[in-house]
Copies of this chain bind each other. A is one copy, B any other.
Amino acid sequence: MSIHGKNFIGNDLSAQGDKSNKIYDINSNIALEGDFSHATSNEVSKALDLASSAFVVYKQKSQIQRAVFLETIAEEIMNLGDELILRVMSESNLPRPRLEGERGRTVGQLKMFANLLREGSWVEATIDTALPNRAPLPRNDLRKMLRPLGVVSVFEASNFPLAFSCAGGDTASALAAGCPVIVKAHSSHSGTSELVAGAIIKAVIKCDMPSGTFSMVHGSGRVVGQQIVMHDAVCAVGFTGSTYAGMELYKLANTRKHPIPVFAEMGSINPCLFLPSALNDTKKLAASYAFSITLGAGQFCTNPGLIIALKDEKLEIFKKDLAQEIEKVKPATMLSSSIAKAYKENKDKAIAQHGTTVIAQALEDGMISEGKAIVASVAGSEFIKNPTLQEEVFGPYSLLVECENKDELMQVITSLEGQLTATVMGEDYEMDEFSSYIYALENKAGRILFNSVPTGVEVCHSMQHGGPFPAATDARFTSVGTGAIKRFVRPVCFQDCPVSLLPLELRDENELKILRMVDDSYSNESL
């Protein structure tokens, strides 16, 4: 299969524009196959008009029909075989096992949402039956469920070319919700996006979904991305990436005549609180944190970028143990040359801050395209004063904040920005003593975890990947797990609705056997 570089305007390929971009191998600088045609304003409009028309049809598809569609997308992605893996390897510089795992996750997410639809209860069907004889006023028959919002715009992430990109969690959850999707491909892995988009379009056709249910366009965020976000047809935005780009989209969407929700999952430094007892086995702790800090060249949104501890003799031993572990880490190729460059700049800026000392670094410097692991330390009193120390350094970097005493520890915690995760390391016997610190930490994060590392995000019902600003633009939602579907739906109440117009989920006969709240009680029964 050759890479054609065209946009997917609904089911049609299109390359009307005169701008394009190629992708270059990070080390050899040789162009990979494909010249990616940036979508013109006309192409973007056409995709969104198609999406609007598709919504009218797609929103009426049953949950089962949407489940089959998602399962077919998963199949078609697997059908791409090794061609997909090879392309994404060459575009992302990530190793094969990681990418095979990520493909598994991507396909798994599609199937997870298909299962959610087959089960069906997620729509929160709620029925209050009529009370015609109630005094002083009768009650109408009221039935509510979650219904799709409309067309969703998805921006691909750089660090997950499969799982947070073309057919990633945002697309899967929006399609599951009943919303057509337009994807803006990431310029660093556009070939991967093309292959996956092709698989989705095959599924659109096989499942007889209307053209416009899915589109994918190439182009810059500033031109194509902005046009999409400002288009009347678009009802919501899903984004994973930098705080800067996420906030640009968020602010832009708020300048619309009709503002729309932008769910942006942005930066996080994922603070890890080491209670004194966590340092009982400094060697083990150092090994597991060195591993997590440098996993995937530190290019995970849950990378432990901040460690907070009370000053202690054992902390000095931990620092030495950590230094030994970090020294051994081989620099790894980063996702792109721009990310490698940004890592060096941001890391240099971070360690140049007042009072900051490097306490551990990899022995090998590595090539220009590689990220060299570094851990620095700073006093709690400096950290509280200097917000720059809370800026994410995307890559294998972490900062240890050493607190003089418990008061300073509480100040460090309360000064934290919103985070995706917060971690507590320590023995059970110390948890009660530090409970107020742990509760304060909970206020800052979407997920609080104990005696583990924050990297590794399980895709399941109970996952929360999102958190108080600036980790995400709206802490009330998640971008990972089945809860992600809630971003793209809204409750609609049907009052005294004739049965022929009532969605299946709300009819007296509960033929889907979903869990519903009927007259104050949960039930899977028919009325």
Q: Which residues of A contact B (CB under 8 A)?
A: 56, 59-60, 101, 121, 126-128, 136-137, 139-140, 142-144, 147, 149-150, 250-251, 254, 258-261, 418, 428, 431-432, 435-436, 438-440, 442-443, 445-452, 456, 458, 460-464, 466, 468-470, 473-476, 478, 483, 486-487, 489-498, 500-501, 515, 517, 520, 522
Contacts and interface: CB of A to CB of B under 8 A. Distances in A.
12 contacts: A56-B440, A143-B462, A144-B463, A250-B259, A251-B254, A258-B418, A261-B474, A446-B493, A447-B492, A447-B493, A448-B494, A451-B496
Given A449-B497, A462-B517, 9 more contacts: A56-B436, A150-B443, A251-B254, A259-B473, A431-B500, A431-B501, A448-B494, A461-B517, A464-B491
A218 B25 CA distance: 64
Contact of A462 (B126, B251, B436, B468): B126
B498 A428 contact: yes
A498 B469 CA distance: 27
A447 B493 CA distance: 4
A40 to B, nearest CB: 26
Contact of A495 (B432, B448, B493): B448
A126 B445 CA distance: 18
Interchain residue pairs A-B with the least CB separation, the first 10: A449-B495, A464-B493, A144-B462, A447-B493, A126-B462, A475-B490, A142-B462, A258-B469, A128-B462, A464-B491
A435 B57 CA distance: 13
Contacts of A144: 461-464, 483
Given A259-B473, A447-B492, A458 B126 contact: no
Contact of A522 (B149, B445, B515): B515
A50 B143 CA distance: 40
A495 B468 CA distance: 18
A170 to B, nearest CB: 16
B428 A261 contact: no
Nearest to A418: B258
Given A144-B463, A476-B490, A515-B522, A450 B497 contact: yes
B522 A450 contact: no
Contact of A500 (B251, B432, B493): B432
Contacts of A260: 469
Given A144-B464, A149-B475, A450 B489 contact: no
- The winner among A451, A474, A486, A490 for most chain B CB atoms within 10 A is A490
B491 A483 contact: yes
B495 A447 contact: yes
Contacts of A250: 259
B495 A127 contact: no
B492 A460 contact: no
Contacts of A452: 140, 495-496
Given A448-B492, A448-B495, A128 B258 contact: no
A142 B462 CA distance: 6
A469 B139 CA distance: 28
Contacts of A476: 149, 261, 486-487, 489-491
Contacts of A56: 436, 439-440
Given A128-B462, A142-B458, A461-B520, A491 B469 contact: no
Contact of A492 (B442, B500, B520): B442
A267 to B, nearest CB: 13
Contacts of A492: 442, 445-448, 464
- The winner among A144, A258, A460, A493 for most chain B CB atoms within 10 A is A493
B448 A493 contact: yes
A34 to B, nearest CB: 32
A10 to B, nearest CB: 20
A254 B262 CA distance: 12
B140 A259 contact: no
Contact of A461 (B126, B468, B473, B486): B126
Contact of A469 (B101, B259, B461): B259
A463 B141 CA distance: 10
A460 B491 contact: no
Nearest to A139: B458
A150 B475 CA distance: 12
Nearest to A148: B443
Contacts of A431: 498, 500-501
Contact of A121 (B254, B474, B522): B522
- The winner among A143, A261, A439, A443 for most chain B CB atoms within 10 A is A443
Given A452-B496, A456-B137, A497-B450, A463 B428 contact: no
A504 to B, nearest CB: 15
A83 to B, nearest CB: 24
A449 B496 contact: yes
Contacts of A470: 258
Nearest to A143: B462
A462 B520 CA distance: 10
